[in-house]
């Protein structure tokens, strides 16, 4: 089921498009990666979902209904540029933010105590925010984002400012939230964490949605039929065994073993390739090269650029 | 600030009176060397100023060991005193107080005047009878055809105080709104909050919240100031009552005209009579004048203009706060807000001296200055339609500025690192959000 659907959304700032005919649908209980270069329009899209700004055209559907102001109570939003009232006490502040999201005070206090323990910041309740380290403040912000157990969570660069240990802690929390049933939109430039966490992605570039789909499908779409073979034996023999259906891209050694990268041409299959080389050399490893999200990101953005160039 | 405010207010009221009190309580002995021999034993003494007339002494004799004597000053009058104005010198090891100086100079002037009149052959009886003292009693005709005792001075005080308070409140708490908005913006907490509430709600919440803080603090100040001033009143009782007594004296002097005329040294006489009066003031006239000022109306109107003015300027301050990244950038936008306020406070002085004048009228109608100027005019009596018009315009304007500020605010709070000018603000107003 579609949890959140964005349909043909336009947003203009005077004569500049911030979003142009953007559509995407976020499946329920998924982690959805919202990717794109700086200034592509991701933050604008997130703000539209959060009802901070309104679109010029198009619709946003929240669980099948047009999104309403009350729906923001069911959304938890961790903005990229985030901060807290520095002079306020940690506990007071977390309570205030929870109450802003419509939580009763008693319940909020109870839940906060629990989260504070989990994140090992329980001793900081009475301290002022300015006394906290940056990492602690980030934890506090994460807690205030999820405290009201929203059905939809939007994290904009959640890991910036975290050390590897806390990043891991947070990643586990994100997975945990998914397990509990939340739908998560996740915007980041860290492609490693996208591969690790996301089920679906959307790539926005220059105000337009240029790539969308389940992450495995997207990666398969960008597969280039390149295989890496690690083997024991004479590389020249291998060369001669391959016909015009295969193109050798690179010869190298991996851990003292010979290796080649081969591209399959003319719809040949990997089984055919294997059947050709098995008699010739001893195969140690055979692996298809699946492009990383990093490569896909760069490739997609560059393709878009070159497609656009002749027009302009 | 909550406690300090009234203490400071109290201090402002009490300190000058207390200081004057301190000085006056000290008996000042002044040595007089009078070469002209005109003034010997003729200078009027008061409770705190005493004269000691020295014969056959030279200025140098006193000067040499002035510090050993208990004299406050040495007054040297040359024999040319009747002809040249620079022939009186006061020596002292400190700067003599203004009150002492003016007491002496007026005494000498009076004495010389009388001498000269006598020299022209006018006898003492005539001299006494030509002394006159006019105090104008002001009576206001009411709509019902009756007469009311009024006090221009009291109206001026109430008007000035009301106008100034509004000015003070707008500046103090308006700037606080601005700082609050800037804080939220630079803290970057604002985006978290506007994901829960609408930017307009956040802005109005800030303005109303600070307004209520302001009102509470202000109420506290008024109460505490009253307590402090009342508590300290016995300490400075004569000084506190003197100005009031002088106002009250208006009718009483009319009644006692003849007896007063008969007294020599008019000024001293009137001072003494004031001091006599301060003991048991005839309270009735001042209460009449107080009753004449419709405090119910003034307080009601005051609260309206107080809040209206604050809301108008508060929303503008909020818009400025949202447009900048830090307080130092506020300067260029502050100017157009500050100018009408400063102008209003300048015109305020004009307004209380000529409340029906053209400038006062227009400034009390134009919404940017009306909260201050209308308060200044109100105690003098303002036609109802003028008050209504001014109120209606103010209400319309603050709705307008709030709407406009809301538009600037919702864009501004999420806009960082941009050099904002008026053109940019205009763009923001036109953004459809």
Model confidence pLDDT, tens digit, residues A99-130: 998 899 999 999 999 999 888 888 888 999 88
From the DSSP assignment, how many helices (H) and strands (E) are in chain B?
Answer: 17, 6
Q: Chain-wide mean pLDDT for chain B?
A: 78
B window 298-357, beta carbon within 8 A of A:
none
Mean local confidence (pLDDT), A74-93: 89
Q: Which of A186, A214, A242 is the last residue of a domain?
A: A214
DSSP state of B328: G
Residue from A79, A87, A90 whose CB has the most chain B CBs within 10 Å, to mutate: A79
**A119 belongs to a structural domain:** yes
* Same domain assignment for residues A105 and A231: no
* Same domain assignment for residues A148 and A228: no
Residue from B184, B187, B189 whose CB has the most chain A CBs within 10 Å, to mutate: B189
Looking at chain B, which residue has its C-alpha nearest residue A93?
B189
* Same domain assignment for residues A114 and A186: yes
Considering only CB atoms, B197 lies closest to which of A14, A53, A100, namely A100
pLDDT band at residue B274, thresholds of 50, 70 and 90? Answer: very low
Residue from A49, A52, A144 whose CB has the most chain B CBs within 10 Å, to mutate: A52
In whole angstroms, give the CA distance from residue B418 to residue B430: 17
Mean local confidence (pLDDT), B311-333: 89
* Same domain assignment for residues A161 and A266: no
Domain span holding position A272: 224-288
The secondary element (H helix, E strand) that includes residue B202 is: helix B199-232
**A300 belongs to a structural domain:** no
CATH code of residue A36: 3.40.50.300
- Between chains, do B192 and A79 touch, taking CB under 8 Å as contact? yes
Considering only CB atoms, A77 lies closest to which of B189, B195, B197, namely B195
Reduced to 3 states, what is the DSSP secondary structure of residue B27? coil
- Between chains, do B196 and A101 touch, taking CB under 8 Å as contact? yes
The alpha-carbon gap from A69 to the nearest alpha carbon of chain B, in Å, equals: 9
- Between chains, do B191 and A81 touch, taking CB under 8 Å as contact? yes
Considering only CB atoms, B433 lies closest to which of A53, A73, A83, namely A53
Q: What percent of chain A has pLDDT over 90?
A: 33
**A310 belongs to a structural domain:** no
Return the CATH architecture of domain B28-129.
3-Layer(aba) Sandwich (3.40)
- What is the pLDDT at residue B216? 86
By the 10 Å C-beta count (0-12 exposed, 13-18 middle, 19+ buried), B107 is classed as buried
Considering only CB atoms, B189 lies closest to which of A53, A78, A85, namely A85
Number of domains in chain A: 2
**A12 belongs to a structural domain:** yes
pLDDT, greater one: B373 or B21? B373
Q: Is A84 on the interface with B (CB under 8 A)?
A: yes
* Same domain assignment for residues A140 and A276: no
- What is the pLDDT at residue B38? 79
Q: What percent of chain B has pLDDT over 70?
A: 78
Please state the three-class secondary structure of A226-280 as a single string.
EEEEEEECCHHHHHHHCCCCEEEEEEEEECCEEEEEEEECCCCCHHHHHHHHCCC
Question: B23-76 pLDDT, tens per residue?
Answer: 666 788 888 888 888 788 888 888 888 888 888 788 888 888 888 888 888 888
Question: A140-179 pLDDT, tens per residue?
Answer: 999 999 999 999 999 998 888 788 888 898 899 999 999 9
- Between chains, do B188 and A50 touch, taking CB under 8 Å as contact? no
- What is the pLDDT at residue A109? 93
- Between chains, do B431 and A14 touch, taking CB under 8 Å as contact? yes
B window 43-82, beta carbon within 8 A of A:
none
**A304 belongs to a structural domain:** no
Q: Which of A214, A239, A269 is the last residue of a domain?
A: A214
CATH code of residue A236: 3.30.70.60
Mean local confidence (pLDDT), B257-273: 42
Mean local confidence (pLDDT), B189-212: 90
* Domain map (residue ranges) of chain B: 28-129, 152-232+292-430
The alpha-carbon gap from A235 to the nearest alpha carbon of chain B, in Å, equals: 59
Q: Spell out which residues of chain B touch residue A84, defining contact as CB-CB under 8 Å.
A: 187, 189
**A311 belongs to a structural domain:** no
- What is the pLDDT at residue B291? 58
* Position B15 pLDDT exceeds 90: no
B248 contacts B241 by C-beta, under 8 angstroms: no
Return the top range by mean pLDDT from A63-72, A178-187, B8-17, B137-146: A178-187
- Between chains, do B188 and A82 touch, taking CB under 8 Å as contact? yes
Q: Is A85 on the interface with B (CB under 8 A)?
A: yes
Q: Chain-wide mean pLDDT for chain A?
A: 87
pLDDT band at residue B250, thresholds of 50, 70 and 90? Answer: very low
* Same domain assignment for residues A171 and A276: no
The alpha-carbon gap from A42 to the nearest alpha carbon of chain B, in Å, equals: 14
Q: Is A134 on the interface with B (CB under 8 A)?
A: no
Q: Is B163 on the interface with A (CB under 8 A)?
A: no
Considering only CB atoms, A97 lies closest to which of B192, B416, B432, namely B192
Looking at chain B, which residue has its C-alpha nearest residue A16?
B431
Pairing label, strands B147-150, B138-141: antiparallel
């Amino acid at each position: 089921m579609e949890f959140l659907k964005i349909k043909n959304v336009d947003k203009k700032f005077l004569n500049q498009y911030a979003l142009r005919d953007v559509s995407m649908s976020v499946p329920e209980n998924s982690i959805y990666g919202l990717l794109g270069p700086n200034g592509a329009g991701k933050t604008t899209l997130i703000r539209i979902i959060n009802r901070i700004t309104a679109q010029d055209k198009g619709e946003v559907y929240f669980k099948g209904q047009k999104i309403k102001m009350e729906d923001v109570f069911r959304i938890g939003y961790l903005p990229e540029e985030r901060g807290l009232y520095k002079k306020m006490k940690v506990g007071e502040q977390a309570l205030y933010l929870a109450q802003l999201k419509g939580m009763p005070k008693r319940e909020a206090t109870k839940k906060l105590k629990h989260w504070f323990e989990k994140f090992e910041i329980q001793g900081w309740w009475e301290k002022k925010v300015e006394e906290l380290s940056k990492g602690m403040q980030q934890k506090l912000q994460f807690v205030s984002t999820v405290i009201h157990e929203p059905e939809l969570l939007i994290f904009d660069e959640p890991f910036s400012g975290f050390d590897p240990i806390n990043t891991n802690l947070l990643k586990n929390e994100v997975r945990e939230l998914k397990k509990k049933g939340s739908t998560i939109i996740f915007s980041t430039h860290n492609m490693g964490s996208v591969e690790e966490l996301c089920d679906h992605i959307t790539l926005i570039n220059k105000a337009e949605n240029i790539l969308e789909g389940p992450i495995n499908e997207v990666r398969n779409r960008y597969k280039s039929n390149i295989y890496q073979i690690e083997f024991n034996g004479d590389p020249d023999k291998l060369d001669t065994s391959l016909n015009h259906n295969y193109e050798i891209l690179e010869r190298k050694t991996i851990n003292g073993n010979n290796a080649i990268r081969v591209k399959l041409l003319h719809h040949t299959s990997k089984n055919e390739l294997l059947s050709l080389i098995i008699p010739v050399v001893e195969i140690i490893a055979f692996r298809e090269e699946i492009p990383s999200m990093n490569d896909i990101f760069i490739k997609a953005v560059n393709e878009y650029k070159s497609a656009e160039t002749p027009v302009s | 600030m909550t406690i300090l405010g009234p203490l400071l207010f109290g201090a402002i009221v009490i300190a000058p009176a207390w200081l004057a009190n301190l000085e006056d309580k000290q008996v000042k002995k002044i040595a007089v060397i009078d070469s002209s021999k005109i003034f010997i034993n003729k200078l009027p003494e008061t409770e705190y100023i005493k004269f000691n007339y020295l014969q056959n002494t030279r200025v140098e004799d006193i000067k040499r060991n002035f510090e050993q004597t208990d004299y406050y000053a040495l007054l040297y009058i040359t024999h040319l005193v009747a002809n040249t104005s620079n022939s009186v010198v006061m020596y002292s090891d400190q700067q003599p107080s203004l009150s002492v100086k003016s007491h002496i100079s007026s005494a000498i002037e009076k004495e010389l005047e009388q001498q000269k009149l006598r020299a022209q052959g006018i006898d003492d009886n005539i001299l006494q009878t030509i002394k006159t003292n006019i105090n104008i009693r002001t009576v206001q005709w009411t709509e019902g055809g009756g007469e009311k005792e009024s006090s221009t001075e009291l109206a001026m005080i109430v008007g000035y105080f009301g106008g100034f308070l509004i000015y003070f409140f707008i500046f103090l708490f308006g700037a606080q709104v601005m700082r609050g908005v800037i804080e939220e913006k630079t803290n970057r907490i604002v985006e978290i909050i506007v994901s829960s509430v609408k930017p307009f709600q956040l802005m109005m919440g800030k303005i109303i919240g600070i307004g209520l803080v302001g009102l509470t603090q202000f109420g506290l100040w008024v109460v505490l100031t009253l307590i402090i001033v009342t508590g300290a009143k016995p300490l400075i009782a004569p000084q506190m009552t003197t100005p009031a007594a002088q106002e009250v004296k208006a009718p009483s002097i009319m009644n006692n005209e003849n007896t007063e005329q008969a007294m020599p040294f008019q000024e001293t006489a009137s001072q003494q009579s004031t001091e006599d009066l301060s003991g048991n003031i005839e309270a009735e006239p001042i209460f009449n004048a107080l009753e004449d000022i419709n405090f119910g109306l003034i307080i009601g109107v005051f609260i309206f203009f107080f809040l209206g003015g604050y809301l108008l300027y508060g929303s503008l301050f909020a818009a400025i706060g949202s447009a900048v990244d830090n307080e130092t950038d506020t300067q260029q936008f502050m100017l157009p807000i500050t100018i009408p306020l400063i102008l209003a406070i300048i015109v305020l002085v004009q307004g209380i001296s000529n409340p029906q004048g053209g400038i006062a009228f227009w400034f009390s109608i134009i919404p940017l200055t009306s909260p201050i100027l209308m308060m200044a005019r109100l105690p003098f009596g303002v036609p109802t339609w003028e008050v209504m018009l001014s109120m209606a315009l103010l209400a319309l304007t603050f709705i307008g500025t709030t709407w406009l500020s809301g538009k600037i605010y919702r864009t501004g709070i999420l806009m960082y690192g941009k050099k904002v000018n008026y053109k940019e603000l205009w763009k923001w107003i036109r953004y459809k959000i």
